[in-house]
Structure 1
Amino acid sequence: MNRTVLITGATGSVSSALITALEGAPLTLRALVRDASRASGLARRGVEVVVGDLGDPESLPPAFKGVTDLWLLTPMDPRAPEHSVNAVWAARQAGVERVVRMSAIGADHNVPTRNGRLHASDRELQASGLAWTILRPHAFMQNLLWQADRIAAEGVFSLNMGDGRLGTVDVRDVAEVAATVLLADPQRHHGKVYTPSGPEILTFAEAAEQLGQALGREVSYVAASEEEARAGMVASGISPWSAGMLVEYGRALGSGFGAYTTSDVEDVLGRPPRRFADFVRDHVAAFTARG
């Protein structure tokens, strides 16, 4: 039987990496997008592009028709629970067999981040009667790319995470875990909650040192206050809601919320997760000054 995987969040970093990980597999890949004009690259890669909006349940049935597997990634947004419920409803109506959901680190009603609290809606998927697997990955190494231009120009980056210690994970490992789950029999990973992490716990000062070694010049991490971080994000065009969410993450992660690693990547993939040094080596060009 040919399986059709519907991918939400298809133009984002995780779903893009998932599409790469699934290329060449005996699957039909279908991407749900709100704006088809932003998805021409997906079509060129052989991905079916369908227009729909998780915020508009009436738009979803055509996109879900014939789908066997759903990759459910909702944006970090106040409407995330609504989007998730709409997707699960559409999946049940369409006879989808399995949902693999991208959740949030520590998702629960009582976690110190609003994104984690919003993703407590995982429970609705768990009670849906569908086969399900949930991924709650650690903070992404790729988040550092948001400050790549500053690192390239000034040799410095700044976050409101103090001396927090994190077991950050490479987005590519998260995508490969998701791909492995989607390629397996639906019952193989049913009912599992995976928390992909990297293999080591680092402070950002240690990360800066490793980055500097790869670039052959000094790179420094400067701990920012919450006020500085918030103002900088809003000035760069990030919405006040999103800036507040990211400040919360910084506060939580700087206080030990992310000071752990798991074996989940190796358990699923049969190999160790990428180290921070691997991420840096593969992205040296992004942190290097142009011209």
Structure 2
Amino acid sequence: MSRTLLITGATGTVSSALLEALRHSELEPRALVRDEAKAEQFEARGIRAVVGDLDDARSLPAAFEGVQDLWLLTPNSPRAPENNMNAVWAARRAGVERVVRLSAVGAAHDAPTRSGRLHALSDRETERSGMYWTILRPHWFMQNLLNEAGDIAAEGAFSLNMGQERLGMIDVRDIAEFAARVLTTEPDRHHGKTYTPTGPRSLSFTEVAEQLGRTLGREIRYVPTTDEVERKTLLDIGVPEWMTEMLIEYGQAYATGWGDFTTNDFQNVVGHQPRGFADFAQDHVDSFAPAHR
């Protein structure tokens, strides 16, 4: 018998990749969208879309009706624990059996970032929800580098406030494949587990730049920048202040070596190695190449 999976954050990077990873599975995905206009893109692909807003608990009961599995992804904001609470409460009342929650790398009550501390609250709530639960705390997304693609294409360089330390960064497509593997097994198989999927090796951004250079056939440079410069850059392009400060905190943490680790979680759950950065660079070569290429 097929199971219905409600996917939150359905228009975002990770959930979009998850929908692709589940395309040939027996699960029946249902995309949660905040407004009717966004539903059309899912309906055109044969995916049922339902309207609901994690900010508004009253909008959720109908969306959760008949759902067995929940993919729970909340936006990064001060309201993230409230969003998680609303989803978990709606799931419990609807009789949802399993929740697979996307948390954040290093989530803990004493994490060096506001995001990590907020996610720790929601992780704890999920663990006590009474449902089968699995929590994913993936490392830094390789796809975050697409935010630097314009500078890389135009100037052959990019800057971050992350110093010269290494990170066990992971491709979002591998996070999606990992989540899909968990969601397509029996609910008790991964119950009570917290995983930290990473890439195959830890890399510095200087090594990232060198690999991009090899892929693009030209020199690419990484230029570490200060917190002050990074803050101004983010604010100038319209990133909200709360989000800007969150990103600055992550940069400060990574600059101390906080992210210099990998795990075997992906290999152990999925059964093969995750993508390396060279694969990511090759697959996104057009994004980093000059427009006249």
Residues 4 and 67 in structure 1, CA contact (< 8 A), matched pair in contact too: yes
Following the alignment from structure 1 to structure 2, what is the Cα–Cα distance between the partners of residues 260 and 98?
29
Q: Which amino acid aligns with 1:64?
A: F
Partner of 1:55 in structure 2? Answer: 55
In structure 2, what is the equivalent of residue 82 of structure 1?
82
| 8 A Cα contact 1:11 1:39, kept in partner | no
1:226 aligns with: 227
Please name the residue that 2:187 is paired with.
186
Following superposition, the deviation at residue 40 of structure 1 comes to 2.4
Following the alignment from structure 2 to structure 1, what is the Cα–Cα distance between the partners of residues 205 and 232? 21
- Deviation, structure 1 residue 122: 0.4
Structure 1 counterpart of 2:200, which letter?
Answer: P
Runs of 4+ residues deviating >4 angstroms: none
Q: Secondary structure at the match of 2:148?
A: helix
Structure 2 distance, partners of 1:223, 1:182, is 39
CA distance in 2, matches of 1:209, 1:69: 42
Cα offsets for 1:19-76 (capped at 9, x unmatched): 0000021121101111221342222111111110111111100000000000000001
| Alignment partners' CA distance in 1, 2:112 and 2:249 | 7
1:89-104 aligned within 5 A: 89-104=89-104
| Aligned equivalents of 2:219, 2:35: Cα separation in 1 | 42
Q: Would the aligned equivalents of 2:6 and 2:29 in 1 still touch at CA under 8 Å? A: yes
Corresponding letter in the other structure for 1:79: R
Percent sequence identity is 60
When the two structures are aligned, how many residues end up with a matched partner? Answer: 291
Instruction: Tell me which amino acid in the other structure corresponds to 1:256.
Output: G
1:281 alignment partner, SS class: helix
- Determine the structure 1 residue equivalent to 2:204: 203
**2:257 corresponds to 1:252:** no
Mapping 1:1-291, distance limit 5 Å = 1-120=1-120, 121-291=122-292
What SS is found at the alignment partner of 2:159? strand
CA shift at 1:275, angstroms? 0.5
Tell me by how many angstroms 1:102 deviates.
0.1
Give deviations 1:221-270, integer Å, cap 9, x for gaps.
00010010010011111001101000000000111110000001111110
- Take 2:285 and 2:40, find their aligned partners in 1: how far apart are those partners? 28
Q: In structure 1, give the amino acid aligned to 2:66.
A: G
Query: In structure 1, what is the Cα distance between the partners aligned to 2:39 and 2:157?
Result: 34
Cα distance in 1 for residues equivalent to 2:51 and 2:4: 16
Distance 2:94 2:283 in 1: 40
Measured in 1, the distance between the counterparts of 2:282 and 2:65 equals 42
Counterpart residue type for residue 45 of structure 1: R
Partner Cα distance (1:3, 1:99) in 2:
13
